[in-house]
Chains A and B, each alone.
Chain A
Amino acid sequence: NAGVTQTPKFQVLKTGQSMTLQCAQDMNHNSMYWYRQDPGMGLRLIYYSASEGTTDKGEVPNGYNVSRLNKREFSLRLESAAPSQTSVYFCASSASRGRFNTEAFFGQGTRLTVV
């Protein structure tokens, strides 16, 4: 059982380049998320998808786009990378359980450096 798988694990981009971070989960979860982690800032939500075919902006969506390709996959795209997007990116997924949400499961992260 792989859980949440992110690719790539590391990436260096030049300013202005584009790239897509891939994420897949095999737990049949409805909800998927993209977070970024920066020193002193904790984990901040970029985009999330409550179900296949829907996406919504989180706290820091500027400069990013997402695609919920199917129930398993949720990709994050940087169209024109900027040094401010240097960060560690985490994909996560979660299920719903009645009134209360369940815990999110995270991938191992993608360390992105934009030079």
Chain B
Amino acid sequence: DQQVKQNSPSLSVQEGRISILNCDYTNSMFDYFLWYKKYPAEGPTFLISISSIKDKNEDGRFTVFLNKSAKHLSLHIVPSQPGDSAVYFCAASASFGNEKLTFGTGTRLTIIP
């Protein structure tokens, strides 16, 4: 039972354009959502997060949008740069009960120069 889903295994975007990565979740108890970026042979690194009391959070070129009614979040990267090429994982947690993160399967983003 995949509670966090990333339905696009891969995405290619031209340098300078917008990259949009999508994530859906099924557990209505999730109230904190995160995006991680992973380069080959490295551990995932935290990128940006959003709590359920917000619908948007912005950090430089990265913006995360949360649509609670649709149980959907997205990560926008504008403008996309070659260094953004990596695997992006969406993750979610529920603040009551435990703190563990549930991850999606990841989307491999390739930025084309």
Contact = CB atoms under 8 A, between A and B. Distances in A.
Interface of A: 4, 31, 33, 35, 40-45, 48, 50, 56, 58-59, 90, 92, 94, 96, 99-101, 103-109
Contact of B102 (A4, A45, A92): A45
A58 B100 contact: yes
B26 interface: no
Contact of A101 (B9, B32, B104): B32
Given A31-B99, A56-B98, A41 B105 contact: yes
B43 interface: yes
Given A100-B51, A101-B93, A42 B46 contact: no
Contacts of B103: 35, 42-44
Interface of B: 4, 6, 9, 31-32, 34, 36, 41-46, 49, 51, 89, 91, 93, 95, 98-106
B45 to A, nearest CB: 7
Give the dominant DSSP class at A's interface: strand
A105 B99 contact: no
B113 to A, nearest CB: 27
B42 A45 contact: no
A108 B93 contact: no
Given A43-B44, A90-B43, A101 B95 contact: yes
Nearest to A104: B101
Contact of B104 (A42, A99, A103): A42
Contacts of B45: 106
Given A41-B105, A43-B91, A100-B32, 8 more contacts: A4-B43, A31-B99, A33-B101, A40-B9, A56-B98, A96-B99, A100-B51, A108-B42
